[in-house]
Amino acid sequence: MDTANIGDLPAATDARALQVTRPSSDYLDVSESLPLRLASGKELAPYRIAYKTYGTLNADKSNAILVPHALTGDQYVASHHPVTGKPGWWETMVGPGKPIDTDRFFVICPNVLGGCMGSTGPASVNPSTGKPWGVDFPVITIGDMVDAQVPLIDHLGIEALFCVIGGSMGGMQVLQWAARYTERVFAAVPIAAAAWHSSQNIAFHEVGRQAVMADPDWAGGRYLELGKEPRNGLSVARMAAHITYLSEEALQRKFGRSLQDLDAKSFSFNADFQVESYLRHQGSTFVDRFDANSYLYITRAMDYFDLAADYGDVLANAFRGTRTRFCVVSFTSDWLYPTRESREIVQALNAVAANVSFVEIESDKGHDAFLLDEPELFATVRGFINAAARKRGLPASAGPRLAGSA
């Protein structure tokens, strides 16, 4: 294994491929001698995991927090994104004096296997052909993503993670870590997540995948090799998905039926309404930072996620004997991963007498509430982490930097 600056990657086939495969972060190369055995039965080697770290690892390496990202996230959890220039996707939660306090903890955020910000995925070069993998890349699962992160934790010399915390697909990875590597996870915080993907969510993902594959420029998945981009298809996929991240209340409050820069309806198919313009903007900006094939692979990995399936279809069996401390969090207006699915996780943990707390947060912001300014979420995470840190023998928190801050 080797770690270096990701700028040393071999040249890709076009400017956009360079942009998505050469972010300014560290990476770990896992050699051919250590192949990753995938759930499909195939092996992947060599492979690369790109990652960012924040804070300092203490002497006994007991203060590490792993933050897996959601579907369209990446390793830039608390630092500016090199492509968009925007702040980190969870800077409300991670940073000095924040609930995940980088003055106290060593935070690790890897780009998932199958991603497009440096980790090996369909936009990466297939070493056997010298061309982008495209759809020749093997189909992966959430379990495969987690298994690919283990060598990174080993490389950093960390025997046991103090905490694994994440929302949405990040929460799925939290659950997989806690089930598959229970001895290596002291505390786990799955937020706005579920132990399996519902048929409704699979249906939404299939609409998005079909939008991508129906774009002529998808070219059977070989668009990078041919210098094309399925921008229209990926944009539509993002628009459809983004609706599921919000709530009816949030959309109505933000947009209502307001027109976009018009005094009257145009009686055309232009974006008359503000909500239409908003969705088009979300779609058009997304395609500048995300690879279309990665979208296909990662959504499929989420669809395949069913934690109980590996444990005799009994979710409680996934956590039997666990000593991990859990805090499960849901939001009242999240219809993508509704509270009842979080309660199923809690019930499974209770069935095996696990140490678990549960918080349902009142919010009208929908699924994306975990990424937004939610004081109750900040207080919940801060309180749980502080209590777990005391049990782990870590130094006490000095509290928020400023009164009223996250």
Residues identified as active-site: 168, 334, 367
* Helices of type H across 185-247: 199-214, 223-226, 231-245
First to last CA, the chain: 37
Distances in whole angstroms, Cα of residue 406 to Cα of each of 91, 265, 376, 403 = 10, 42, 10, 9
Distances in whole angstroms, Cα of residue 358 to Cα of each of 170, 179, 191 = 18, 18, 10
The 185-191 sheet, strands edge to edge: 2-5, 26-30, 47-54, 106-110, 64-66, 161-167, 185-191, 325-331, 355-361
DSSP 8-state code for residue 259: B
For residues 298 and 293, what is the distance between their CA atoms, to the nearest angstrom? 9
The encoded tokens of residue 45 equal: 């080697």
Q: Beta strands 125-126 and 131-132: pairing type?
A: antiparallel
Q: DSSP letters along 273-323, please? A: BHHHHHHHHHHHHHTTT--HHHHHHHHHHHHH-BGGGGGTT-GGGGGTT--
Q: DSSP letters along 127-158, please? A: TTTTEE-GGGSPP--HHHHHHHHHHHHHHTT-
- By the 8 A CB rule, do 406 and 372 touch? no
Contacts of 137 (CB under 8 A, 6+ apart): 114, 121, 122, 124, 126, 293, 297
Exposure string of 29-49, with b = 16+ CB inside 10 Å and e = fewer, is bbeeeeebebbeeeebebbbb
The encoded tokens of residue 151 equal: 């060598």
Burial class (CB in 10 A: 0-12, 13-18, 19+), 260: middle
